[in-house]
């Protein structure tokens, strides 16, 4: 009996658990997120539903938004007029199995039959085959990867728990707005009949979605179909990465999440994160500040960190080092006044002596009032240089070639600024500003800007 249980454990681990972890963390053979600067994707699972799907289609039509529906085959078979309407109104129709059952609980042949049967139903209604597939609950098994030539597995980058009514419209709206970013693939549900869901939950989803679409309109963001987002992503540098580099990026971004959790970083602009910070006691050597004071061990500092995910995306979207630097400078320029506003409104932060960070390649921070200082030689400096060298090779448009060209310049530096100087420089600019408005601005055309060096990747 123990041997049988052990074999079942091994089989379930290799059949389901490990493939699920690989796809979720590293995005192996699945699509989870796009790279657009103005587009995001709304995706809806479990429908169609005769009560809520027509309301959803009306709402999408009102805001000229296109979406992707991963339909349950048995529901599509029951309500063909809704599938016909989705197709006629320009939405993408994907497969969500014939019945809403986990792939972990089905043999590979059964999963294939579920997909084929649903595809046949969609084809019989619309005259078009579906090549996009989302397994129920996003759970993949080992053999799902082998079906890649026949269907494209689509997961998501943002999930909100909209299948439960206890969340409430306001909280759901808040969660959706916090993830209303370019490239996001949002998971929502237009049917509440799935096991574990509340039947009335889609009503709350529709109310929160309307608020979200209204805000997207203000920010100039558009909801597009997943196939359009995939085509854009396939043209990017990311799609041409080797698996080893994709693995490195996945590990790096996983470390980003762990670091944020462990050290409780806060974000200047949560809806479009770029600059993070935390209050801590300074532990380094004494540093002279521009205001004549000295930063000493034990003094409170506001430690700054640039968001690794945003840094990676900016690197992938940039055609040159100069363009990457310009985009980083512009993002930093938008966040600095709001950082000053946050500090001014927080007694603990305003009592800190200085802003502090570690930077690599150091033309740029002076623009914002930072002073660049050499790091004392030692183990920390060596480890920091090693980490930032890997970081730069990942996000820099020239990749590892940049390290060979300018290896002597890749020296980590301290960037530091008295908090009083930040408040004096930016305090008047941000008085009375509405924080959410900063999220409306998107990347501008950078080609007409003068060339600049990469201002630095801050160490985690």
Catalytic machinery residues: 45, 189
**255 C-beta neighbours (distance < 10 Å), count:** 13
* CA distance linking residue 338 with residue 328, whole number of Å: 16
> Which of 10, 79, 92 shows the shortest CA–CA distance to 48?
79
The answer to whether 225 touches 77, Cβ cutoff 8 Å, is no
Sign of CA dihedral 137, 141, 143, 145: positive
Residue/partner pairs of 196-199 with CB below 8 Å, 24 or more apart? 196/163, 197/46, 197/163, 197/164, 198/163, 198/164, 198/165, 198/166
- Cα 12 to chain centroid, rounded: 30
Q: Strand, helix or coil at 275?
A: strand
Residue 309 has phi, psi (to 5 degrees) of -65, -45
List helix spans (H) across 13-79: 18-26, 53-62, 73-78
The answer to whether 173 touches 211, Cβ cutoff 8 Å, is yes
């Amino acid at each position: 009996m123990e041997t049988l249980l052990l074999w079942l454990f091994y089989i379930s681990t290799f059949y389901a658990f490990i493939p699920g972890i690989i796809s979720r963390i590293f995005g192996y053979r699945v699509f989870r997120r796009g790279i657009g600067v103005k587009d995001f994707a709304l995706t809806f699972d479990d429908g169609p539903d005769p009560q809520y799907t027509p309301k959803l289609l009306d709402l999408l039509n009102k805001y000229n938004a296109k979406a992707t529906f991963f339909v349950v085959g048995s529901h599509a078979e029951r309500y063909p007029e809704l599938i016909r309407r989705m197709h006629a109104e320009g939405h993408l129709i994907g497969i969500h199995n014939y019945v809403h059952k986990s792939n972990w609980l089905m043999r590979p042949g059964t999963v294939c039959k579920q997909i084929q049967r649903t595809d046949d139903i969609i084809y019989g209604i619309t005259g078009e085959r579906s090549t996009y597939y989302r397994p129920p609950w996003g759970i993949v098994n080992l053999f799902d990867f082998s079906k890649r030539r026949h269907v494209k597995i689509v997961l998501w980058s943002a999930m909100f728990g909209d299948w439960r009514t206890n969340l409430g419209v306001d909280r759901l709206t808040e969660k959706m707005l916090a993830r209303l970013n370019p490239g996001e693939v949002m998971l929502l549900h237009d049917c509440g009949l799935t096991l574990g869901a509340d039947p009335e939950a889609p009503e709350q989803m529709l109310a929160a979605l309307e608020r979200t679409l209204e805000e997207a309109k203000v920010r100039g963001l558009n909801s597009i179909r997943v196939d359009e987002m995939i085509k854009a992503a396939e043209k990017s540098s990311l799609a041409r990465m080797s698996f080893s580099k994709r693995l490195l990026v996945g590990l790096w971004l996983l470390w980003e999440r762990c670091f944020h959790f462990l050290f409780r970083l806060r974000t200047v602009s949560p809806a479009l994160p770029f600059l993070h910070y935390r209050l801590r006691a300074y532990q380094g050597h004494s540093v002279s500040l521009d205001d004549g004071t000295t930063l000493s061990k034990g003094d409170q500092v506001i430690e700054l960190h640039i968001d690794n995910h945003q840094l990676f995306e900016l690197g992938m979207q940039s055609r040159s080092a100069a363009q990457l630097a310009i985009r980083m400078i512009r993002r930093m320029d938008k966040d600095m006044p709001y950082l000053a506003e946050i500090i001014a409104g927080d007694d603990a932060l305003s009592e800190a002596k200085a802003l502090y960070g570690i930077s690599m390649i150091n033309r740029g921070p002076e623009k914002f009032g930072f002073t660049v200082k050499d790091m004392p030689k030692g183990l920390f400096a060596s480890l920091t240089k090693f980490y930032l060298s890997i970081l730069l090779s990942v996000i820099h448009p020239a990749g590892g070639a940049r390290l060979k060209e300018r290896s002597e310049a890749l020296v980590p530096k301290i960037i530091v600024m008295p908090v009083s100087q930040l408040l004096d420089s930016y305090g008047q600019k941000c008085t009375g500003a509405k924080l959410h408005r900063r999220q409306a601005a998107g990347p501008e055309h950078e080609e007409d800007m003068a060339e600049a060096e990469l201002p630095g990747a801050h160490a985690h």
